[in-house]
């Protein structure tokens, strides 16, 4: 009887651990200082004419909290607006004025992420 209780407790712990891991791997769990109910960063609306669009491939984003941090950092730069995709690990940045790629890369990498390509 004692062995049955131990096995049952271990089974419950295993099930909880697997569920938590699956949420984390899908980017739904709370990691990187975020919580499972992270509020997404709102989209920034540009008032001028869009003169350019670039895609920044970013390594190190694991959850919605990560994408919100990167989006906030990019959107704080005057003249650009970003939309992030966690699954593709990229930021699509629209420009209404000239901003150097290095400026955006510097902001992203200051957060601890790595820009691996700009297209």
Residue 15 included in any domain:
no
Is residue 18 within 8 Å of 48, Cβ to Cβ?
no
Which one is predicted more confidently, 2 or 114? 114
Query: Which segments of the chain are extended strands (E)?
Result: 52-59, 80-85, 90-95, 114-118
Is residue 108 within 8 Å of 56, Cβ to Cβ?
yes
Residue 10 included in any domain:
no
Confidence category of residue 3, pLDDT binned at 50, 70, 90? confident
64-75 helix and 101-110 helix, angle to the nearest 10 degrees: 140
Residue 42 included in any domain:
no
Is residue 18 within 8 Å of 76, Cβ to Cβ?
no
Is the per-residue pLDDT at 33 higher than 80? no
pLDDT at 24: 60
Look at the chain and report how many structural domains it folds into. Answer: 1
Residue 18 included in any domain:
no
Residue 22 included in any domain:
no
Is the per-residue pLDDT at 116 higher than 80? yes
Residue 99 included in any domain:
yes
The DSSP secondary-structure symbol of 84 reads E
Q: Which structural domain range is residue 92 located in? A: 52-118
CATH number at residue 85: 3.30.70.100
* 3-state SS class at 68: helix
């Amino acid at each position: 009887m004692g062995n049955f209780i131990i096995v049952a407790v271990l089974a419950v712990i295993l099930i909880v651990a697997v569920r938590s891991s699956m949420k984390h791997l899908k980017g739904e769990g709370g990691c990187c200082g975020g919580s499972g109910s992270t509020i997404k960063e709102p989209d920034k609306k540009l008032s001028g004419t869009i003169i350019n669009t670039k895609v920044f491939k970013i390594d190190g984003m694991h959850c919605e909290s990560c994408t919100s941090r990167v989006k906030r950092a990019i959107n704080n730069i005057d003249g650009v607006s970003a939309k992030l995709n966690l699954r593709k690990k990229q930021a699509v940045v629209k420009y209404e004025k000239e901003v150097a790629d290095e400026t955006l890369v510097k902001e992203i990498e200051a957060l601890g992420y790595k820009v691996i390509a700009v297209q």
